[in-house]
Amino acid sequence: MNKRIAPHKLNFDTGWAYSPAPESIDHVHIKDQYKLFIGGKFVAPKAGKYFNTINPANEKVLARVAQAGATDVDRAVNAARGAYDNIWSKMKPAERGKYIYRIARIIQERAREFAVIESVDGGKPIREARDVDIPLAAAHFFYYAGWADKLNYAFPCRTPQSLGVAGQIIPWNFPLLMAAWKIAPALACGNTVVLKPAETTPLTALKLAEVIEAADLPPGVVNILTGDGSTGAAIVNHDDVNKIAFTGSTNVGRIIQHALAGTDKKYTLELGGKAANIIFADAAIDQAVEGVVNAIFFNQGHVCCAGSRLLVQESVADEVVFKLKERMQTLIVGDPLDKNTDIGAINSAAQLERINAYLDLGQEEGAEMFQCGGKNPDKGYWCQPTLFTNVAQSHRVVREEIFGPVLAIQTFRTLDEAVAKANNTQYGLSGGIWTDKGAKIFNVGAKIRAGVIWANTFNKFDPTSPFGGYKESGVGREGGMHGLSAYLDLH
Ligand code: NAP
Ligand code: MG
């Protein structure tokens, strides 16, 4: 079982192997340096500071990006306020909708370029960026464009009113998609925006700024500020911001909640997760195993709602673990731009260090660790898919979010035990149920304290469907009609 496999040389009995199939990058244009997008123009940061964004698959610098300070945040909020007061809040909703449609269409037209940039800046496989991130980002703009002139129908007998300026702070795991989740509903509801992407993945947000320029949005409606945590904090603490939308870690979410306590700013927080994927003995086992691979290994486990815990009914546990290990040997870790790649680069050196610390910790705690022993590329940040078995509920690898391709497996005997174990966590973002019985899906689904439950599938997203957490996974919902109310005052 512990076979060593080199990338692209799957040494299977059948003898087949993949040849490298790299995505073409000739059509991609990345500038050497990017400024801040404020008031419809790219402007230099006041303090003149820039930082590098790198490709985590080869550690090469892709571009220099502006570091926004408090003065730049102030300029951006003022631009957003001006655009809100003078143009956007006064515009006919149907006209607002047309601008949002235009953004959606331009993203679709430039989808191939966006996909490559998402892949090189963040390390995710091109397959994921091309098939999931970029089409879904466009779909969110299309979906919310349709709501712009129908808010009264979404909230009958109420008077929906925009909030003003929304400060939006997003993480590095789905950079363009998170920007779309934030910007599209905010604009549809008549708000203007100041958005800060994560430090390690600023490029698709900056490309989105170019799209917004091309869509001819009135200056100041969307402002994009690159920077670090201090830029995010300056947005949160700015007096003239009416709403904060944050996606990121539970720790930073807590800091933001403290900062907002006692103010009249509205907020939504989308935070961490430690989802349980539950496989019952009556499930279609091969499908379930594939679902588990999709839930935790694809996209390097860099998914807030990843199924990072697996609960398997005892009678099928050996079979599931055997099949999972077999499937893991066929997973290709390597060049994110190769269309065959399943698991790309870990987003940053710091994240890899965090994951590796958990791999050591799991073994120190007494868990059994399994990896296939594939060879990592020489440069860049990599982690082979990893299983922990023989774990206890008290182990930190079972309790804490690792945010890497690491799965902790536990067993259960009864349905009640599965539910109790699944709910024994500080988080409540998502969960998965694998069973042949529809009644069991409804029974267990109703008992799991999590915002999203997938049944016989995992990690499926749609703009019409709300997303968000229970417990320490967050406050509020994004997506669907629920996502509108987060950007409105409803009288
Ligand atoms: P993070 O460290 O919390 O950062 C998220 C964003 O906040 C980044 O833009 C970051 O800037 C910024 N930030 C850092 N400190 C801040 C502060 N004091 N005030 C305001 N903003 C600040 O999270 P991450 O490591 O980038 O992302 C991983 C986490 O996001 C995981 O926990 C994951 O579960 C969660 N996540 C949740 C969802 C969801 O929908 N629930 C979706 C995706 C990810 P820098 O980049 O410069 O640090
Ligand atoms: Mg980068």
**Tens-digit pLDDT profile for residues 138-166:** 999 999 999 999 999 999 999 999 999 99
Residue 353: C-alpha distances to residues 61, 93, 346, 434 (Å)? 20, 48, 10, 33
Assess whether the C-beta atom of 122 lies below 6 angstroms from ligand 1: no
pLDDT score recorded for residue 374: 84
- For atom 32 of ligand 1, the residue with the nearest CA is 249
pLDDT of the residue at 15:
55
Query: What rounded mean pLDDT belongs to the chain?
Result: 96
Q: What percent of the chain has pLDDT over 70?
A: 97
What ligand 1 atom has the least distance to the C-alpha of 256? 19
Ligand 1 proximity of 248 Cβ (cutoff 6 Å):
yes
What pLDDT is stored for residue 17 in this prediction? 74
β-bridge mates for residue 65, sequence order: 34, 51
Q: Which CATH superfamily is domain 273-455 in?
A: Aldehyde Dehydrogenase; Chain A, domain 2 (3.40.309.10)
**φ, ψ for residue 195, nearest 5 deg:** -115, 135
Any catalytic annotation for residue 270?
yes
Question: Average pLDDT, stretch 110-132?
Answer: 98
Looking at ligand 1, which residue's alpha carbon is closest to its atom 26? 171
Q: Out of 23, 128, 189, 304, which one is annotated catalytic?
A: 304
- Span 348-366, pLDDT tens digits: 999 999 999 999 999 999 9
Average pLDDT over residues 268-274: 98
Q: Is 304 in the pocket of ligand 1 (CB under 6 A)?
A: yes
Strands 368-371 and 386-389: antiparallel
Q: What's the rounded Cα separation, in Å, for the pair 137 and 159?
A: 29
203 Cα: distance to centroid of ligand 2 (angstroms): 8
Torsion over CA: 170, 404, 62, 204 (sign): negative
How far, in Å, from the CA of 232 to the mean position of ligand 1?
A: 10
pLDDT at 383 over 70: yes
Report the separation in Å between the CA atom of 288 and the middle of ligand 2, taken as the mean of its atom positions.
Answer: 33
Residue 227 has pLDDT above 80, yes or no: yes
Lowest mean pLDDT among 108-122, 364-378, 407-421: 364-378
Ligand 1 atom 31 nearest Cα:
249
- Atom of ligand 1 lying closest to residue 251 CA: 3
Residue 14's pLDDT band, with cuts at 50, 70 and 90, is low
483 lines ligand 1 (CB under 6 A): no
Give the pLDDT mean for 418-447: 98
Predicted confidence at residue 491, as pLDDT, reads: 82
CA-nearest residue, atom 42 of ligand 1: 304
| Residue 373, pLDDT above cutoff 90 | no
170 CA to centre of ligand 1 in angstroms: 6
Question: In the prediction, which pLDDT does 53 show?
Answer: 98
Quick one: pLDDT at residue 2?
Answer: 39
What ligand is nearest to the CA atom of residue 203?
Answer: 2
- Write down the pLDDT at residue 348: 98
Please determine, for residue 199, whether its predicted confidence score (pLDDT) is greater than 60: yes
Ligand nearest to the CA of 241: 1
Predicted confidence at residue 3, as pLDDT, reads 41
Angle, in degrees to the nearest 10, between helices 134-147 and 175-188: 10
Mean pLDDT of all residues in 76-95? 98
289 CA to middle of ligand 2, Å? 32
pLDDT single digits (tens) 286-302: 999 999 999 999 989 99
Q: What is the structure's pLDDT at 13?
A: 53
The answer, yes or no, to whether residue 266 has pLDDT greater than 90, is: yes
- Radius of gyration of the chain, Cα coordinates, nearest whole angstrom: 22
Distance 91 CA to ligand 1 centre (A): 33
Looking at the chain, the whole-number percentage of residues with pLDDT higher than 90 is 95
Looking at 110-229, which runs of residues are DSSP E strands? 160-162, 165-169, 192-196, 222-224
Lowest mean pLDDT among 18-27, 77-86, 431-440: 18-27
Domain pair 33-271+473-490 / 273-455, same fold: no
Given the residues 270, 401, 472, 478, the one annotated as active site: 270
Q: Are 183 and 156 in contact (CB under 8 A)?
A: no
Residue ranges covered by each domain of the chain? 33-271+473-490, 273-455
Q: How confident is the model at residue 7 (pLDDT cuts 50, 70, 90)?
A: very low
Nearest ligand to the CA of 479 is 1
Question: Band of the pLDDT at 41, cuts 50, 70, 90?
Answer: very high
Q: Which amino acid is at 448?
A: I
CB of 474 closer than 6 angstroms to any ligand 1 atom: yes
CA distance 243 to 251: 19
Mean pLDDT score, 236-256: 98
Does ligand 1 come within 6 angstroms of the Cβ of 236? yes
Probe ligand 1: pick from 67, 181, 224, 247, max atoms within 8 Å of CB? 247
Does the domain at 33-271+473-490 match CATH 2.160.10.10? Answer given as no
d(CA 275, CA 279): 13
Helix ranges (DSSP H) in 377-429: 396-399, 415-423
Check whether 16 has a pLDDT greater than 80: no
Distance of CA 369 to the CA centre of its chain: 27
The size of the chain, in residues, is: 491
Q: Is the CB of 429 under 6 A from ligand 1?
A: yes
364 CB contacts (<8 Å, ≥6 apart)?
none
Protein residue closest via CA to atom 15 of ligand 1: 229
Is residue 472 within 8 Å of residue 144, measured between CB atoms?
no
pLDDT bin (cut points 50, 70, 90) of residue 5 is very low
Inter-CA distances, 114 with 35, 210, 240, 385, 487, Å: 19, 12, 32, 27, 27
Burial class (CB in 10 A: 0-12, 13-18, 19+), 416: exposed
- Tokens of residue 29, six digits: 């244009």
- The DSSP element (H or E) to which 22 belongs, if any, is none
SS3 call for 280: coil
The per-residue pLDDT for 355 is 98
The pTM for the full model equals 0.96
Among candidate residues 155, 162, 207, the one with its CA nearest the CA of residue 180: 207
Nearest atom in ligand 1 to the alpha carbon of residue 235 is: 20
